[in-house]
Structure 1
């Protein structure tokens, strides 16, 4: 069955006509002493102090949502005294004025009892990888607290994701077969063609539903939403961290509003300017490396997957691909595994046995725990808003013939995640081709970059970002984390301390430093 138009009503996504927030405060420029006139002795110009982020002058209407957030994300209890607060704010659909009205953006603020009340917040965006709020909540319940102890962190969800105004444009049955990559809904055996067809149906449905503002879900518009938050706070400078896909949003903010940045952190940034195939292979390489790290720890702990946990997982993926795990497809198993391996909750190591027990139970025929894990991880990354944002960001997907070739090649090269990753390249294949958002060209700001050696979301992509930063004239330093997971700051106390120090004095660590696993 094909869907050619979205069976939805315009009431689902209302256009609000609320006005914009107040503008930023004006701050004087830093004075530089000039040499005196005449032939007398002169003094060297003073070096201006690095700019600092400001404490909000006008706050959002925050409401405590600690319990509901942790419960909905199934994160378990947080550290003593953790406070999570939710709010939203109106942001123009298009700052250029081509589309009138506003969109509701969701935000989450996290702080601890020791967080200074007068500290400027760090703004976080994880883009379309998962909601920024869930990334922040995962970081907040982790074992490391240096970042939150030094300042509050405020996550801004991208349009249609998380707590932001939702998008409901894909019919439920289409959403299901698109997620399963056609494994449960194909009459023949050509999954590539099937997924490409479902992509066309979903694309038509969503673009019909969103018009006339279907083109406002890219990284520059997400940067505009962060700028609107700055205006609502009535501050001149903010600190910003972009993780994964959110680094693209952060770089767009740096290009459009660089004068309002005090500090910029790029954590596990996705490749800059890369096509869909390059990005997918980087991610699948990272996922396989993360699985290897998991398997090593699993074996060392004497986990339920036996002497060769990686072989056990590979065999389980083969069963899922062959339809031998009941309703659990290969795409489902991939989602569950990557969801665990990339969880922003920073205690994966202590939960290795939990995942091993779930997978071992599925091997024995008890698939209930695995099905529950699939449901949870799918909900975290599979909303209609994420489809729209990811496809808007996607560039140059391969042809169907190339995807078929990759499915065969990657199945051998990346035995657990390769075939699914190749099929996923077709999910956005019908979305109109987009151009990469322009990068900063003149960035007078030190930038801190983190890269993980086993990142299941972006792989090792820091190099392309640092090249772009160098072109823009920005000083930068990269630190590599030796562990597995995404993003780095959620898992590494060393990285959190590096960010805290950098936010305090704008001094970068030595380039090429490393944080232990």
Structure 2
């Protein structure tokens, strides 16, 4: 049987890297994106653990593990991070069917990154991590490797899986080849011809959508939450275990919930870290995010001023001034959109566990740019583009979203949000148009029944998701019959499981006992 036309095109057009280089830069010799005759089944046969009548399935170590290769130095150096003493990072790939619902011999090659310590038992059950489209899971694994407390890793390895076309999973180029379109869409048309911003972004989005759907057809819509959940099922089959334990952060929480909806009997533990909302329209979701960005900026400004940072007595106004200059073109070629992305990146994904150092570094980056030295800001822009602006991100985000608004609605939102959310609102509204031409898709699924307690983590100053999605998420879990407990972190960053040792300790306890603590809990900054 021949692989799909999409698989054939990707195999011909995409160069990928070997397992040993899956976590770092360098020559690319990994197997093709699509492999004829590929299988997602386990080499070790079916899982041997018998089902239990009470409670969730037990934790299991892989029966047949992946072909891991040490990549500690490459994985951490690529993020400008040094692994904590005794922490090891391994890389591997595994195949997943292009579409489990359609007979096909083609597979995707997906990247897995494992973080553990020298003390982690060889027979310890892994915790599967997915950050969805927020940024590559492999990047969070590198950040996790740098955290000084290793109690969670001492007990369980954590395995991050990059979504299709994201991070170290096999990439594809559907519109990035047209550099002018790619850069102009990332800049939200700021330096493109024309006077109406909404019209410019809508036109660029249409061009990108046509390029990607033409390139990917007939499989243009196989990059959503449901397909990502199927990919994790391929990992379970490869390991030969009955059940997996999941930690889904941000958009990855939807992937974990999608897995529970489709494969609920195969879930042993479920942690949702700073989840995005479930089954909501794009405008509502974007407003929840922009409120989180504003809250994170306010929290940063408060701590920055208290520490006597380089932005002076009113750090928030200084950040807003940087945005104003970028919007005016004073920081060209940097745009207002990319400068905001860089600041969100600095607030959400700190490279150090030291909270005071994170505040100081972000302050110095902004202060330097205001003084005319944009070197640190340029570096942040380059990093955020590499981590969040690939074609895989574009296709997956657009596929996941619902009810993208038209230009007229976006113009209304620009006016209202610029007043309500002065730092990020107008740009957030305009950004909604980047997927406005994408074909409509079904909403990401949530489980109708779930027979295990769920641990939820949330950060009070989360610039990626904010806290507003929590009621909808916990409500959906409650409707499915699952007990939940939410642990709240007072620090700045995303996700809690990377930024907070207290949060990681809660995850470790939950993995060990299978129970969530009663009532609410708080983790200090």
Bin for the TM-score computed over the shorter chain: over 0.9
**Distance 1:348-1:335 versus aligned 2 partners, 3 A rule:** farther
Residue 469 (structure 1) shift: 0.7
Specify the SS of the correspondent of 1:401.
helix
| 478, 485, 497: which one aligns with 2:493 | 485
C-alpha distance 344-361 of structure 1, shift in aligned 2 (>3 A): closer
Conserved 8 A contact 1:450-1:462: no
Asked if 1:370 is matched to 2:389, the reply is no
Could you report, residue by residue, the CA deviation over 1:310-334 in whole angstroms, capped at 9, with x for unpaired residues? 1111111111111111211111111
Distance in structure 1 (CA, Å) of the matches to 2:456 and 2:350: 18
- Matched with 1:27 is 49
- In the alignment, is residue 285 of structure 1 matched against residue 269 of structure 2? no
Mapping of residues 112-151 of structure 1, within 5 Å: 112-151=117-156
CA contact (8 A) 1:272 1:464 kept: yes
Question: Partner residue of 1:85?
Answer: 90
Backbone CA RMSD of aligned residues? 1.7
User: Is it true that 1:163 corresponds to 2:175 in the alignment?
Assistant: no
1:180 corresponds to which residue?
187
Equivalent residue of 1:106, what SS?
A: strand
Shift of 1:361: 1.4
What SS does the corresponding residue of 1:154 show, helix, strand or coil?
strand
Aligned residue number for residue 12 of structure 1:
13
SS in 1 for 2:457: strand
Alpha-carbon deviations, 1:190-232, whole Å to 9, x = none?
A: 1111111111111111111112211211111101111111111
- In 1, the alpha carbon distance for the partners of 2:491 and 2:373 equals 31
Secondary structure, counterpart of 1:473 in structure 2:
coil
Partner residue in 1 for 2:310: 304
Q: CA deviation at 1:344?
A: 6.0
Residue 343 of structure 1 pairs with residue 363 of structure 2: no
**Is the Cα–Cα contact under 8 Å of residues 265 and 449 in structure 1 kept in the other structure?**
yes
Contact 2:347–2:362 at 8 Å: present in 1 too? Answer: no
Give the aligned partner of residue 231 of structure 2: 225
The equivalent residue for 2:25 is none
1:246 aligns with 2:252: yes
The residue aligned with 2:23 is none
Aligned to 1:96: 101
Paired residue secondary structure (2:271)? strand
Alpha-carbon offset, residue 274 of structure 1: 1.0
Decide which moves more: 96-105 or 154-163: 96-105
1:223 aligned counterpart, secondary structure: helix
Q: Where do 1:274-423 residues align within 5 Å?
A: 274-343=280-349, 345=351, 346-423=353-430
Higher Rg: 1
Q: Report the 3-state secondary structure (helix = DSSP H, G, I; strand = E; otherwise coil) of the residue aligned with 2:263.
A: helix
Give the 3-state SS of the residue equivalent to 2:313 in structure 1: coil
User: Conserved in 1, the CA contact under 8 Å of 2:329 and 2:335?
Assistant: yes
Q: Taking structure 1 as the reference length, what is the TM-score of the superposition?
A: 0.92
Match among 432, 446, 466 for residue 459 of structure 1: 466
Distance (Å, rounded) in 1 between the aligned partners of 2:218 and 2:406: 28
Q: Deviations over 1:125-144 (max 9, x none)?
A: 01000001111211221244
Distance apart, 1:374 and its partner CA: 1.0
Corresponding residue for residue 480 of structure 2: 472
Partner of 2:502: 494
Matched residue SS, 2:434:
coil
Counterpart residue number, 1:45: none
In the other structure, the counterpart of 1:36 is none
User: Cα–Cα, structure 1 residues 98 and 392, in superposed 2: closer, same or farther, change >3 Å?
Assistant: farther
- Tell me, in whole angstroms, the C-alpha distance in 2 between the residues paired with 1:29 and 1:434: 35
Q: How many residues align?
A: 493
Q: 1:99 to 1:51 in 2, by over 3 A?
A: closer
What's the TM-score once normalised by structure 2's chain length? 0.91
